[in-house]
Amino acid sequence: MGGDTEHFDVVQVGFGPVGQVSAAALGRLGHRVGVFERFGGLYALPRAGHVDHEVMRGFQSIGAVEKMLDDAFRCSKYSWRNQHAQTLLDIDWSYDGISGWASDYLIYQPYVEDALNQAVRRQPSVAVHHGWSAVGVEQGDDWVEVELAQGVLEETGYRLTGERRRVRGRYLVGADGANSVVRSLSGIAMVDRGFNEQWLVTDFRQKMPLHFEFDNGQICDPTRPMCLFQLGQTHRRFEFMVMPGDDVAEITSPDRVWSLVSRWLTPEQAELIRATVYTFRSASAEQWRSGRSLLIGDAAHLMPPFLGQGMSSGVRDAIELAWKLDLVLNGKASDRLLDTHMIERRPHVDAITDQAVALGKVSCTIDPVAAAARDQAFFSGNVPPPPPFPILEAGVLDDGSGPANAAVRGRLGPQGIIRTDAGEGLADDVIGSGWQLISRRDIVSSAQPRTRDILKELDVRLLNMGEGAGRVSDVNGTYTAYLDDAQALAVLVRPDFYVYGAVEADEPLDRLVDGLAAKLMLREPAVQA
């Protein structure tokens, strides 16, 4: 490769939902991003149907949340029943999430992608090129070059036109989905995590408002496990396990689909917009980084959709990688910071994947005797509740050993409503996303000059509940209650909303920030003194 090559800070392959979040996040940080997507436009059909409060905060951070709220549906419960309508498990979705949003929402993915795409298009430093497929990757010491082939989707399949181009970036982000070419060209294998079931996925556009006694959840019927969900306010999904002996072509035919959903829907009430068979798998890339190439989303991990966390995990990858790339691209942090991408994200995703697989096995029990035993185990309380949602356990996290650190480090930080001279609203909207130092009082003015330099270098936003620098009014008491619960003087939250660490009640800020500079491998002369 070489010759007539366009240059970017970041070349990104793939413009699915995870790539859209990544492009918008990097664009908001001012980086020149060249996105290359093999299809001519956005994929028009839904896959993901659920997002949680953390992902909503991520969408908020890139300016996409308002538009997607138009159709999102706040769902309060995810239920699991057997074929006799007896409840096996209820997953509570009724609470207010710590991220400033309701715990869980059901969505229609094409509407969400419209909102994400618009957020990307508002970034002048991001150029999205549709109809280009990555076919080659080459790396040097401080660059990575991607060869692209132009293609069009035709009735007979995807056809390459023969046009080629090369682009070069300081880094390459592979957001190119389950069959990632960036991953395979980097020689990275996927490690199977043990699940492989085929399900028929059918989606409908409602012609009128519809309400069922059981609207959102799994029906664990061993004769044919299934589930049904609202996809936002205007669409519905019904999924059915493909059983031994089913003919995949026959089961996707409209007649067969209408007969499967006849208990709930008629063609007068809804329009069938697609029926397709997916293989639900679980796998994780054995490496998420190869030199200057980094993987995010389905390119890095796959999980069955029983927890609705596949895309959400990818959004977490994108938000996390963007702030790290920002520090490295700006010359503030060492390139080695990017090694923490997999160190932090893979255990988190693996834990969620294991939960999704365990729940998938509950649903996909087709032996009636085993299903009856499963039901009895749930009824008698012998099934342990799902484990708590994972936290970050390693990576850019404080080493402090005090009680406040133990309480909050690696967990999601809060977002509440604040008031400042700039106005009142959700904190990220009022003071901006990024590093946030939440404190009971002004602890910055008394800190060492080096500490203050580092905070400035990282553009840390202050949420000080007391008098002095960074004072904000804690309108709903969110932050005061949070600091009380943690018994912390202050908490430092990363740009991806995870808590880096806490300042214990009797500590100065300097220890926390010294450690942060080391963990980030900060390079600025100002912070090396």
Ligand X SMILES: Cc1cc2nc3c(=O)[nH]c(=O)nc-3n(C[C@H](O)[C@H](O)[C@H](O)COP(=O)(O)OP(=O)(O)OC[C@H]3O[C@@H](n4cnc5c(N)ncnc54)[C@H](O)[C@@H]3O)c2cc1C
Site of interaction with ligand X (CB under 6 A): 13-19, 36-39, 43, 47-50, 133-134, 175-178, 181, 201, 278, 297-298, 305, 308-312, 314
19 versus 495: smaller Cβ distance to ligand X: 19
Tokens in use for 129? 């090129």
Residues 400-418 as b/e (b if ≥16 CB within 10 A, e otherwise) read bebebbebbbbbbbbbbbb
Residue 499: CB minimum distance to ligand X, A? 23
- In DSSP terms, 134 is beta-bridged to 148
Task: Tell which phi-psi region holds residue 4, choosing left (phi > 0), alpha (psi between -120 and 50) or beta.
Answer: beta
Q: Which amino acid is at 150?
A: Q
Using CB positions, name the residue nearest to ligand X: 16
Residue 313: CB minimum distance to ligand X, A? 7
User: How far, in Å, CA of 1 to CA of 162, rounded?
Assistant: 17
> Could you tell me whether strands 461-464 and 436-439 are parallel, antiparallel, or unpaired per DSSP bridges?
parallel
- The count of other CB atoms within 10 Å of the CB of residue 485 is 12
Burial class (CB in 10 A: 0-12, 13-18, 19+), 79: middle
Burial class (CB in 10 A: 0-12, 13-18, 19+), 215: middle
Residue 49: CB minimum distance to ligand X, A? 4
160 versus 191: smaller Cβ distance to ligand X: 160
50 versus 289: smaller Cβ distance to ligand X: 50
Terminal Cα distance for the chain, rounded = 42
Residue 94: CB minimum distance to ligand X, A? 18
Residue 418: CB minimum distance to ligand X, A? 29
Helix ranges, 73-129 (H): 109-121
Residue 35: CB minimum distance to ligand X, A? 9
117 versus 312: smaller Cβ distance to ligand X: 312
Q: 401: which residues sit within 8 A by CB, 6+ positions away?
A: none
Residue 12: CB minimum distance to ligand X, A? 9
